[in-house]
Amino acid sequence: MSANLATESTTVVATRQSVLNERHRALGSKLDGEIWNGMPLPESYTTNADDEVVAVRTRAGLYDVTALNIVNVTGPAALKVLDKLVTIDVTKLEPGSCRLAGEVNDAGALVDDIMVICDAKDTYRLSHGSGATQTTLAELAKGEDVTIEQDLDVHILSLQGPKAIDILNPEVDFDLAALPYFKHVNTTLFGCDIMLSRGGYSGEQGYEVYCKAADAVKIWDTILEKGQPFGAIACSWNSLDLTRVEASLLFFPFDMPEGDTTPWEVNMHWCVDEDKPGDYIGKEAVLNLKGRERFKQIGLECDCKTAVPEGAKLMVNGKEVGVITSPSYSRYLMKSIALAHIKPEYSQFGTQVTLVADDEVKARIVKMPFYDPMRARTHPE
């Protein structure tokens, strides 16, 4: 992620700021060029990103993920508009739940991935990255009784790791262990009104705190204070990228470099409800593209002691068959790993490939995710 975000930041101007910036600077972040969705990112701290990964995997790590875009969609036509936007059946979402959804264009290609958060049947929030969501929403809302506005005040603090529940459970007025994955509640934390959801981007059991900007510093400081006996630390976005690659979680648009990637080509079949009634943007196209994948999303273990280059070509018997999308060297797993795209006929587990960049590197296709292959951390029985 760091290379991708640094590239983007050369042409994007900061239009938003986290109120936690002074905390990030005190931890060693320069906040001088890493910009995503208009917000400078704490891409690195003086602590080592690999050590931060260890904290997340064994204790707890606290991230500031306020750079996500949060859009409020409210009013009598909110459900109607959202159901035209995404590939899931929004009518099935109950208050207090959320679900990841795909957004495709008229050609059936992904243009964003979205977390649809349902607070009531006429009140929703969308959490999304840097895709086309807000532009498309504005078009769909024309003539409809719906209000759409980006929440520029909300701050999102993500506490990830096996000790996250031990840190937060004593501070809330309900049993946090009973909160299912992708569910959320309105509650208070350290005297502040928040929304608390179970989820994250690390492949660990974790929780996300949605709060007002005025409360973010207090909550950040108090989580770290309460978490100190459990070994919790603040963590940078570089470590977040390491954990998400280990967990084989995709990042739009960098894991969809073709520009016309379909959900079927990146194992996002779960974000398309094929039996969804009614119409939505790109419905006919995306359903017709199932079974016509030009490539498959795969995971690679590479025979080297560093991360392989992003964009490196995959070769089999001298023929170009794919490309690296998200590489990483995982010190936690002691492996060089990568997310990649490859032609379907070469996508079987165990297939040997050669990566061609500055040097040639041998690699093989393995099962994903690389870390916690049964996803027992995020979906325990």
Q: Cα–Cα distances in Å, from 255 out to 110, 122, 266, 338, 362? A: 11, 33, 8, 11, 21
Q: Is 204 annotated as a binding residue?
A: no
Q: At a CB cut-off of 8 Å and minimum separation 6, what does 257 contact?
A: 311, 323, 325, 341
d(CA 260, CA 255): 12
Residue type at position 270: W
The pair of structure tokens assigned to 153 is: 């005040």
8 A C-beta contact, residue 356 and residue 340: no
d(CA 307, CA 314): 15
8 A C-beta contact, residue 219 and residue 306: no
Selection from 324, 329, 333 nearest residue 370 by Cα: 333
**At 278, phi and psi to the nearest 5?**
75, 180
d(CA 266, CA 250): 9
The pair of structure tokens assigned to 67 is: 């750079």
d(CA 81, CA 21): 35
Binding-site residue set: 208
Binding-site residue set for substrate: 208
